């Protein structure tokens, strides 16, 4: 059995419905830890309209937000309380959208892993500002083998502690859209990280946030010319229509601040990341034969 432990709060989650639809064919039960403190948050309302709710595959718990490790540990407690413990857990945030190849991982890869494998990692495109730019392609835990003794540590940028076994990394890339939102919402998110100890300069308050929260990092982004997961295409198109003026300003700002040297450096970074993903095929021949990018 595959479970997914999802944590939501009171912040808007524009990608949540699409994220849930993408994983519904793969995940047997969705466990939700609602940290919003509301009787019925917008996120919970979205979850209650998902395939998981319609098919009786949804478990919801509520707990106050303390920090990100505590949030994950509260979700871990919900997993431990299921009538039958899951074999694997899909690690997912509400702003991550998977492609069709997630089905291949669940049906064609996970059953072939021996008991010594505790974690399956993949990669994510991290979008930044608009759908036309990414900051990097980062390795990320996709599935982990469930055990009731697992615990999350670190109040921010939490990590899972207690996994016993090796990690396999597959050349699969999915899409993280959480940094494509208004400057105010980005500042709110980064402000929470800062308050919990993230060692970065204090971000502006949401009321004072401007496009500069994005443009200040123009030297670290590069154009994205790939495809989006099929299930996300309508949502991406709608958000682009609704934010056409704001996105055009950001696109122009990024282009203006990226010198020739920056363009060369980020292009080389992208080539290096693409090669790193592709070389994962050589580590485990025959384990993963599908294309590398989510479709």
pLDDT of residue 285 exceeding 90: no
> In this structure, are residues 119 and 163 in contact, taking their beta carbons and an 8 Å threshold?
yes
Residue 294 clears pLDDT 80, i.e. is over it: no
If pLDDT is split at 50, 70 and 90, which confidence band does 293 have?
Answer: confident
Check pLDDT > 90 for residue 287.
no
The C-alpha torsion from 150 through 82 and 52 to 86, rounded to 10°, is 50
Q: Which two tokens stand for residue 76?
A: 């871990």
Which residues share a beta bridge with 218? none
Q: Which residues contact 53 (CB under 8 A, 6 or more apart)?
A: 47
What is the H or E stretch that residue 2 is in?
strand 2-8
Residues 186 and 179: their CA atoms lie apart, in Å, by 7
| Cα 177–Cα 180–Cα 183 angle in degrees, nearest 5 | 145
pTM over 0.85: yes
Q: What would the pLDDT profile of 78-135 be if each residue is shown by its tens digit?
A: 999 999 999 999 999 999 999 999 999 999 999 999 999 999 999 999 999 999 999 9
Residue linked to tokens 């309508």: 234
Residue 293 DSSP label: B
Task: Tell me the DSSP string of 136-175.
Answer: EEEEEEEEEE--TT-EEE-SSS-EEE---SEEEEEEEEEE
pLDDT value at residue 288: 80
| CA dist list (Å): 127 to 17, 94, 124, 180 | 18, 14, 9, 7
Please provide residue 239's backbone torsions phi and psi, each rounded to the nearest 5 degrees: -65, -35
DSSP letters spanning 199-231: -SPPPPPGGG--THHHHTTGGG-EE--SPPPGG
Q: Could you report the per-residue pLDDT of 161-178, keeping only the tens digit for each?
A: 999 999 999 999 999 999
**Integer Cα distance of 53 and 40 in angstroms:** 15
- CA dist 231 to 99, 174, 190, 228, 272, Å? 7, 12, 28, 8, 28
Do residues 155 and 73 make contact, with C-beta atoms less than 8 angstroms apart? no
Mind listing the pLDDT tens digit for each residue in 234-278? 999 999 999 999 999 999 999 999 999 999 999 999 999 999 998
CB 107 within 8 A of CB 2: no
Tokens 């971000």 belong to: 203
Q: Is 169 exposed, middle or buried (0-12, 13-18, 19+ CB in 10 A)?
A: buried
Cβ contacts of 260 within 8 Å, gap of 6 or more: none
Domain ranges of the chain: 1-295
Q: Which residues of 45-60 are buried (b: 16+ CB within 10 A; e: fewer)?
A: ebbeebebbeeebbbb
Phi-psi category of 162—alpha, beta or left, where left has phi over 0 and alpha has psi -120 to 50? left
- Which residues sit opposite 141 in a β-bridge? 121
pLDDT recorded at residue 3: 98
The predicted-structure confidence for 216-239, as pLDDT tens digits, reads as follows: 999 999 999 999 999 999 999 999
């Amino acid at each position: 059995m595959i479970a997914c432990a999802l944590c939501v709060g009171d912040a808007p989650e524009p990608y949540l419905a699409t994220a849930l639809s993408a994983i519904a064919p793969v995940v047997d039960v969705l466990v939700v830890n609602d940290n919003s403190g509301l009787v019925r948050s917008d996120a919970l309302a979205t979850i209650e309209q998902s395939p998981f709710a319609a098919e009786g595959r949804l478990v919801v718990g509520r707990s106050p937000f303390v920090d990100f490790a505590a949030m994950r540990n509260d979700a871990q407690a919900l997993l431990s309380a299921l009538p039958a413990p899951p074999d694997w857990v899909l690690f997912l945030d509400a702003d991550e959208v998977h492609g069709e190849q997630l089905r291949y991982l669940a049906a064609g890869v996970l059953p072939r892993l021996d008991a010594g494998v505790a974690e399956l990692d993949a990669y994510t495109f991290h979008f930044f500002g608009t759908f036309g730019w990414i900051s990097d392609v980062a390795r990320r835990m996709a599935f982990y083998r469930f055990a009731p003794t697992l615990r999350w540590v670190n109040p921010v940028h939490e990590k899972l502690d207690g996994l016993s076994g090796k990690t396999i990394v597959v050349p699969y890339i999915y899409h993280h859209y959480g940094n494509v939102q208004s400057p105010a919402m980005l500042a709110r998110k980064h402000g929470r990280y800062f308050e919990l100890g993230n060692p970065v300069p204090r971000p502006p308050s949401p009321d004072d946030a401007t496009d500069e929260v994005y443009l200040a990092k123009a030297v670290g982004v590069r154009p994205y010319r790939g495809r989006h997961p099929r299930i996300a295409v309508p949502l991406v198109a709608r958000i682009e229509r609704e934010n056409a003026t704001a996105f055009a300003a950001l696109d122009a700002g990024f282009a203006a601040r990226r010198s020739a040297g920056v363009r060369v450096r980020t292009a080389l970074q992208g080539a290096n990341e693409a090669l790193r993903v592709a070389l994962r095929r050589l580590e485990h021949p025959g384990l993963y034969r599908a294309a590398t990018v989510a479709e």
